[in-house]
Amino acid sequence: MKSGVRKGRNVIGYDMAQRNGLGKRAYLCERIRSDIAAGVLAPGEKLPSRRVLADLLDVSSSTVEETYRQLVAEGCVEVRERSGHFVSWTPLAARVRVDAAKPWEHEALEGAVGDRRCGGGSAERAGEAGSSRGAGPAAVAACRFDLTGARGAPGAFPLDAWAKALRQTLSRESAADLLAPAPARGCLRLREQISRFVRQTRGIDASPDRIVVASGAQTLYSLVIQLLGRQGTWAVENPGYPRLSSIYRAHGVQLSQAPLDDEGVSVDWLYASEARVAHLMPSHHYPTGAVTSASRRYELLAWASRSEDRYLVEDDYDCEFRLSKGALPPLAGLDAAGRVLYVNTFSKTMGPSFRLAYLVLPPALSDAFDEKLGFYSSTVSTIESIAFARFMEEGHFERHVRRMRKAGRDVRDALAARLQSGPFRQARIRNEDNGLGFLLELPASAVSSGQSLSQMARSNGVAVRTLDQFYAHGGPDRLARARRTIVVDYSALAQADVDAVVAALEQAVFS
């Protein structure tokens, strides 16, 4: 079957048999996106209608419709009323084509996105945010309800399936495999499963030899520092994850706090700051829940491509819990220049006590990892690694995530409905579709007590944190608004407790 685009005939022909495990929509998105980036599909060119493309590729019209919707969300395609779908004229992927071997020598970037210098959670995250502000683990544990994410969801851990995987690992795997020393990157069998997982769910095409497994994201942060070196300035988001800043400072890294605007981290600020590494959460920023726009993602990749020493660390800590369709691809899935290190953890899906995370290295840093850090032994035991690989191989992990996502959606809907039916109806719920949490911004008139909202809520048995607790610094107006904005993490909340927790909050805030 044909591959690519047959120019002038308004037809795209791709071999759907070559999907290599990708879903039909994901594969079609990937192929059209790559043709746009390569210039095969020119700006302004009309794409086939849904019916024509569905007939040509022998897929359903809904598959094509979802594909086009995703590409529109990314900014690669635009819709013209009564005319159809067209390749976007905006300077996104098609204009951000860099020489992957030496992207810092590619001068065309200046015209691609504009010279920005001229201006034209998880339990770990929750625990650190409050530890220095009187809302540490002990204070959270003393509360009946937890809206900080510091606890695991009751009954959410798949104990039976995990116990089965452990039993089968111990009884069926050879002693030689179970007792073999784990290499620095971790167990190959588990890395093979993670490679398949990130390709199918996040569109990241990474071979197992580019993946590093470790005992939690904190361990990976330490490895990233050692791999990239401590020199220069590293940027972290403000507001952001306080523990991340603490870890970097403990390793002697000089930090700078990057401000956010409506589209993500300010690229103007990055150029002005002379940062060489930026640690970002573009797909679900913690704590605001905001999503970095498609255009800003390409601008960030362009910034990183301008110097051989610049990198982006992409933290995708809860990618499994997007509650809306049309999620934007991660930076690592768009990175043609090899400037993105992708970090993710299983602690959000499996529970806070499940210490397992992984790092996807860009190709050029894979050899550097062996040279600099290959002397380490893996921090994850071989037995646990094989057991989790088996857990994934047999489909238990995917089923578990589907159950948690459905449960999360049900709790979110019940919580939002209950909040909007009582005294909180004047409050504003923000970013509720991007993960297991949202921001609840109260009107200024609702906060008149000298106590903080978190203190008032704890006095009524609800552990919460407010947005100001995540700022390193900020202007008085911004901080005043942040002090009346609750960062709601409902990952540990049962649907049956929604009425009780909202009633407790109402009593704390409005009585």
pLDDT in tens, 303-325: 999 999 999 999 998 888 876 66
Reduced to 3 states (helix: H, G, I; strand: E, B; else coil), residue 440 is strand
Q: Residue 104 pLDDT > 60, yes or no?
A: no
Residues 341, 361 contacting (CB under 8 angstroms): yes
Residues 258-273 have a mean pLDDT of 94
Q: Residue 129 pLDDT > 70, yes or no?
A: no
Compare 504 and 318 and report the one with higher pLDDT.
504
Task: Please confirm whether the linkage preceding 287 is cis (ω < 30° from 0).
Answer: yes
- The yes/no answer on whether domain 4-95 falls in CATH 3.30.70.1450 is no
Q: How far apart are the first and last CA of the chain?
A: 69
The percentage of the chain sitting over the pLDDT mark of 70, rounded to a whole number, equals 85
Task: Note the pLDDT of residue 89.
Answer: 66
Reduced to 3 states (helix: H, G, I; strand: E, B; else coil), residue 305 is helix
Residues 315, 280 contacting (CB under 8 angstroms): yes
Q: Which CATH architecture has domain 160-395?
A: 3-Layer(aba) Sandwich (3.40)
Q: Exposure pattern of 175-208 as b/e (b: 16+ CB <10 Å)?
A: eeeeeeebbbbbbbbbbbbbbebbbbbbbbebeb
Residues 349, 400 contacting (CB under 8 angstroms): yes
DSSP string, 363-405: HHHHHHHHHHHTTSPPSS-HHHHHHHHHHHHTTHHHHHHHHHH
Where along the chain do its domains lie?
4-95, 127-156+399-510, 160-395
Residues 393-421 have a mean pLDDT of 92
**Amino acid present at 101:** A
Nearest-CA neighbor of 113 among 96, 97, 94?
A: 96
Reduced to 3 states (helix: H, G, I; strand: E, B; else coil), residue 218 is helix
Q: Residue 122 pLDDT > 50, yes or no?
A: no
Task: Note the pLDDT of residue 73.
Answer: 72
| Element of type H or E holding 498 | helix 498-510
Compare 213 and 474 and report the one with higher pLDDT.
213
Residues 104-131 have a mean pLDDT of 40
Two structure tokens written together for 381: 């035991």
- Cα distance between residue 174 and residue 184, in whole Å: 21
Task: Note the pLDDT of residue 12.
Answer: 62
Reduced to 3 states (helix: H, G, I; strand: E, B; else coil), residue 407 is helix
Q: Residue 91 pLDDT > 80, yes or no?
A: no
Reduced to 3 states (helix: H, G, I; strand: E, B; else coil), residue 56 is helix
**Amino acid present at 447:** V
Same fold for the domain at 4-95 and the one at 160-395? Answer: no
- Global pTM exceeds 0.85: no
Residues 52-61 have a mean pLDDT of 85
Q: Give the helix ranges, DSSP H, for 235-362.
A: 242-250, 267-273, 294-305, 331-334, 347-350
Q: Tell me: the pLDDT tens digits for 338-373? A: 999 999 999 888 887 888 999 999 999 999 999 999
Task: Note the pLDDT of residue 127.
Answer: 46
Query: Which sign, positive or negative, has the C-alpha torsion 424, 430, 432, 433?
Result: positive
Q: Which CATH architecture has domain 127-156+399-510?
A: Alpha-Beta Complex (3.90)
Q: How confident is the model at residue 94 (pLDDT cuts 50, 70, 90)?
A: very low
